[in-house]
Amino acid sequence: MRSFRRQGYHHGNLREALVAAARRLIAECGPVGFTLIEAARLAKVSAAAPYRHFEDRDALLAEVARRGFAEFDRRLTAAWKGAERDPGAAFQRMGEAYLKFARDEPGYYAAMFAAGGPAATGQRPRPKGTFGALQAAITQIAAPAGQDVDARSLAYQAWALSHGLATLSAAGLLPSRDARLKPAVLLRDGVGALIRGAGGKRSSAKKAGGPRRPRRQTDRPSPGRKGAREAGG
């Protein structure tokens, strides 16, 4: 990877610079407010230059979304690693990774979920792969606990809870004072409660209230994980 040479006539790495600029702009103005000309300006290049690398504005937006999905997938997969030893801790890491991604990469996250605006739900790529991993994770966690759990429902609930917390937090609607109301804490406890609570819903009717052992390892993650610091972005 050669470093940017900015002095010459040629940029050297304009494509990457445009993607980086677009990420930043999408984070600031949203996918609708994002502007190709402003991205060119950020890359210190004329307004026509981007057309050497992208067909049009939408193509750059789509490229950002594509990379966002890839990076998202990479991080969540990495978080799930080691799940065979401790599925609860791995799932906990996955949740942390989800919120961290949404917080640290708002440009990616916004592009992924809103590429083309709420109206254009057509040919946009979907997070199938990543979401499949989430669902598999839920199954693996729920199954050994011996609970009658609909893993698919649980996966969507966990996803919605993560997405809801991420967007409410980004919108500044969660109180940042109280440590107990931080998104990561709400997600950890929330998913734990979803897993525990879901098992009781219908099996309690069938099995008539046998005592349940809560999975303790899911409740308390290893404290002091690194990478949880506030990023200055």
Partner DNA sequence: TGTACATCAGTGAACGCGCGTTCACTGATGTAC
Residues 25-64 contacting DNA, CB under 7 A: 34-38, 45-49, 51-53, 56-58
Q: Crossing angle, helix 128-142 and helix 57-80, to 10 degrees?
A: 20
CB of 35 or CB of 140, closer to DNA: 35
Element (H, E) at 32: helix 14-33
Give 194's contacts (C-beta < 8 A, 6+ positions apart).
154, 157, 158, 161
Q: What is the DSSP letter of 86?
A: -
Residue whose tokens read 């990379």: 67
CB of 9 or CB of 118, closer to DNA: 9
The yes or no reply on residue 118 touching a copy of itself (CB under 8 A) is yes
Write out the two tokens for 224. 């002091």
Closest distance of CB 100 from a copy of itself, Å:
16
DSSP 149-189: --HHHHHHHHHHHHHHHHHHHHTT-S-SS-GGGSHHHHHHH
What residue 49 binds from a copy of itself, DNA, none (CB within 5 to 8 A, per partner kind)? DNA
Residue of 31, 12, 112 lying closest to 67 (CA atoms): 112
Residue of 62, 189, 162, 186 lying closest to 102 (CA atoms): 162
What residue 227 binds from DNA, a copy of itself, none (CB within 5 to 8 A, per partner kind)? none
What residue 56 binds from DNA, a copy of itself, none (CB within 5 to 8 A, per partner kind)? DNA
Closest distance of CB 164 from a copy of itself, Å:
3
**Phi, psi dihedral angles at 204 (to 5 degrees):** -70, -30
The yes or no reply on residue 198 touching a copy of itself (CB under 8 A) is yes
150: exposed, middle or buried (Cβ count in 10 Å: 0-12, 13-18, 19+):
middle
Span interacting with DNA, options 5-13, 95-103, 117-125, 180-188, rule CB under 7 A: 5-13
The yes or no reply on residue 160 touching a copy of itself (CB under 8 A) is yes
Sole binder of a copy of itself in the list 13, 77, 139, 167 (CB under 8 A): 167
Binding positions for a copy of itself, rule: CB under 8 A: 28-30, 32-33, 106, 110, 113-114, 117-119, 121, 126-127, 150, 152-153, 156-157, 159-165, 167-168, 170-174, 178, 180-181, 185-186, 189-190, 192-198, 200-201, 204, 209, 211-214, 219
